Structure 1
Amino acid sequence: MSLKLFKRGEIWHYRGTVAGGRVRGSTETTDKARAQRIAAEREAREWTRHLDGPGAALTFADAAIAYRQAGKPTRFLELVEDHWKDTPVRDITEKALKRAAIKLYPTAGAATRNRQVIVPTQAVINHCAEEEWCPRLRVKRFKVATKIKEPATLAWCLSFAENASPHLGALCLFMFGTGARIGEAVSVTWDDVDLSARTARIRQTKVGAERMAHLPPALLAALSNIPSNRKPDDLVFKYVSRESVRQVWDAAIKRAGIRNLSPHSCRHGFATTMLHNKIDVKTVAQLGGWKDVATLVKTYAHAMSDLTVTDVIFGTNLTQPETPKAVND
């Protein structure tokens, strides 16, 4: 065998030259006999790769390395790398991938299994397919039940703010007024806010970009009323993560006696309010940080319940729809 074993601590590793190429790695075992078998299997794969082309012995671990080196998105990739490890790519079929998604997320819904297992696994393999190392992997994803989420209204947000601390109330109004996601909002520092210019920089972690948001007067006033020394690096809303918001968020809802909505409902409310006020969908997508218009329309657009809106067909001006009253859960 060309590959030689050596120890690092208690774990056996291997290194050597196979088919003119340097090979090294960890067997991830303390058992020498098992380590020898693992090293022999790696050497055999390297010879197969050399003689029959890269796809013949391509493992998911190797595919993931190539995917990372190409600068591709790596969100949720670590878990699937740990699951598949040195599994040959040819063995990762649609059925095997779906079984893996269920195993990794036994209690999760279809959307989570799709997003966090199927999408990253398929992305890695199909990147290698583009390099002509293996066939493309086509997967019919788990069916996701459509959930209609209720958007927050201005009346809801104002009632919430009245029953919350100044920084929590401002956080609610900030998400409603800018369309920011909760994770984006809690990351805003005072250095990102220019009260004189009425703007705030929002780092869009989901799409890897930044945007400048306008601060309407009511939002500007809420931010101005936050008690703070306003050091540039200080978090505007004081919460270090979305998880730290949840408990105080629910408490404010209970005090206000309003419908139990999540922080993300404020982003829904931004889109719905803008669309209902006849702002074109492309502008709403741009101002709210949606990557594409289709996602905005499919997920965030909510139909108006007022049947009389059809009066506009005959030139009748619309009356402002009545804001739904707050209700107790």
Structure 2
Amino acid sequence: MSATLFRVKKVWHYRFQVDGGRVQRSTRERTRAKAEPVAAKAYADAVVRANGGQPVPTLDELFKTWLEVQGPVSSAAHVRSVDVVHRLHMYELGGLAVSDVTTAHIELARNQHLLEHKPATANHWLRVMKLIANWAVKRDIIARLPWRVTMLKVQKRPRATLPLDVAKAWFDAVDGACVRAPTVGIAVRLMFGLGLREGEAAGARWEWIDWQRATYTPGVTKGREAEPVPIPSWLVGHLAPQRMSEGLIAPGRDGAQQPAGFARKAMQVANAHCKVKGITPHRLRGTFATLLSEAGVPIQTIQGVMRHKSPMTTMAYLEKRHDTAALAQASIAEKIGFARRESGEHHAAKPHESSSS
């Protein structure tokens, strides 16, 4: 037995009988194709309940539960990603039971996503879907991931890092863009000098600085790590005149923590002023990692100060700099003896070196 569909005006309804009881409800859908999975899910849940079991939630219900349970303990950026997919990019998957979502369902939904979005965002969408499905596995809602879809191959492009030859002018432009909120400039320097995430810079506190050792230990981080980070001397000099015993280092004008995206406008102004592209809070963190790597810092050390659980995550932050490779090539050429000939430095032949006919 299963649910029977019928229409009342333009809306589809269902009815069925389970354990001697009759159930009749509206699917709230106007097309049969959308109404069928709603009715099938309602019937399956009723059968499970009648046998003393717990029904499998729909994907929509699972998203809502994740946001309720994990939202308060996850980063703001992480929550935004899940919330956006749930509100805008479910592509008719929301009414399906988590256990009924197949590889074909995910592939078709991703194809719909690709009609209006780039492949890179489709990969991000897929990561969120995997996050939610794997969370259901961890909570024993389903036994295993019911679908398997691989990421699309995307042409990789070099990401921006802040050029050192314009860094001073860039920070001056940031300060000029936030005269009414000067603590924004402090937070931006924390991102660049300590590799802090935007939220970590907004929540940075004076009591987490060890002035004697010149280290900063983030008290609240994405991965809950507490790894001391050396504070460069230029940043110590910038912070020292404003030193306090406790409290936020870079609070908003009302004294509370800065909201998400607080530094983006000032950074956009600085980008335009210095004619650089793509410098965001996250790319300042990438610049921090890349500069450490170029200075010869081992990947394990960079991993520690970046607070990454895997060195592969750290590697993804390091940008390949062609100027560094060019310097190495020039050094190699000089050792081989090519540099003089290629530089055009030809000395005139001395009299005793000239050949006579």
TM-score of the two chains, using structure 2 as the length reference: 0.61
1:325 match:
none
For structure 2, list consecutive stretches of 5 or more residues without a partner in the other structure: 1-17, 20-24, 29-37, 176-181, 336-357
**1:246, CA displacement in angstroms?**
1.9
Q: Distance in 2 between matches of 1:171 and 1:155?
A: 21
Which is worse superposed, 152-161 or 286-295?
Answer: 152-161
Q: Distance in 2 between matches of 1:193 and 1:114?
A: 38
Q: Secondary structure at the match of 2:217?
A: strand
> Are the structure 2 counterparts of residues 193 and 292 from structure 1 closer, same or farther at C-alpha, using a change threshold of 3 Å?
same
Q: Secondary structure at the match of 2:227?
A: strand
The answer to whether the 8 Å contact 1:189/1:233 transfers is yes
Aligned with 2:146 (options 131, 136, 140) = 136
**1:218, CA displacement in angstroms?**
0.5
Aligned with 1:191 (options 207, 211, 228) = 207
**1:177, CA displacement in angstroms?**
1.9
Aligned with 2:261 (options 225, 240, 243) = 243
1:307 match:
326
For structure 1, list consecutive stretches of 5 or more residues without a partner in the other structure: 1-17, 20-25, 30-37, 317-329
**1:104, CA displacement in angstroms?**
6.7
**1:286, CA displacement in angstroms?**
1.0
Q: Distance in 1 between matches of 2:231 and 2:215?
A: 5
1:233 counterpart letter in structure 2: G
**1:203, CA displacement in angstroms?**
5.4
> Are the structure 2 counterparts of residues 136 and 272 from structure 1 closer, same or farther at C-alpha, using a change threshold of 3 Å?
same
Q: Secondary structure at the match of 1:244?
A: coil
1:160 match:
170
The answer to whether the 8 Å contact 1:176/1:269 transfers is yes
The superposition leaves residues 156-185 of structure 1 with CA deviations (integer Å, 9 ceiling, x where unpaired) of: 322223344264444343222211222322
1:320 match:
none
**1:110, CA displacement in angstroms?**
2.9
The answer as to 2:102 corresponding to 1:93 is: yes
Q: Distance in 2 between matches of 1:248 and 1:267?
A: 17
Q: Distance in 2 between matches of 1:58 and 1:169?
A: 46
The answer as to 2:45 corresponding to 1:45 is: yes
Q: Distance in 2 between matches of 1:50 and 1:65?
A: 25
TM-score of the two chains, using structure 1 as the length reference: 0.65
Q: Distance in 1 between matches of 2:52 and 2:295?
A: 62
Q: Distance in 2 between matches of 1:287 and 1:69?
A: 31
Q: Secondary structure at the match of 2:268?
A: helix
Alignment of 1:1-329 (within 5 A): 42=42, 44-48=44-48, 59-60=58-59, 75=79, 76-78=81-83, 83=90, 84-101=93-110, 107-115=116-124, 117-126=125-134, 128=136, 131=140, 133=143, 136-165=146-175, 167-202=183-218, 205-226=221-242, 230=244, 232-236=246-250, 238=252, 240-255=258-273, 257-263=274-280, 264-305=282-323, 306-310=325-329
Q: Distance in 2 between matches of 1:295 and 1:66?
A: 28
Q: Secondary structure at the match of 2:193?
A: helix
Counting aligned pairs with the same residue, the percent is 18
The superposition leaves residues 55-101 of structure 1 with CA deviations (integer Å, 9 ceiling, x where unpaired) of: 9x664357668978997978444555664444123542234224445
The answer to whether the 8 Å contact 1:60/1:85 transfers is yes
> Are the structure 2 counterparts of residues 253 and 224 from structure 1 closer, same or farther at C-alpha, using a change threshold of 3 Å?
farther
1:265 counterpart letter in structure 2: R
The answer to whether the 8 Å contact 2:100/2:146 transfers is no
Q: Distance in 2 between matches of 1:161 and 1:67?
A: 39
**1:44, CA displacement in angstroms?**
4.2
The answer to whether the 8 Å contact 2:101/2:146 transfers is no
How many residues align? The count is 281
The answer to whether the 8 Å contact 2:194/2:230 transfers is yes
Q: Considering only aligned residues, what root-mean-square deviation do their CA atoms show, in Å?
A: 4.4
The superposition leaves residues 256-315 of structure 1 with CA deviations (integer Å, 9 ceiling, x where unpaired) of: x35244133322221121111111111111112233212222342323424341577799
**1:233, CA displacement in angstroms?**
3.1
1:283 counterpart letter in structure 2: T
The answer to whether the 8 Å contact 1:170/1:219 transfers is no
The answer to whether the 8 Å contact 1:178/1:214 transfers is yes
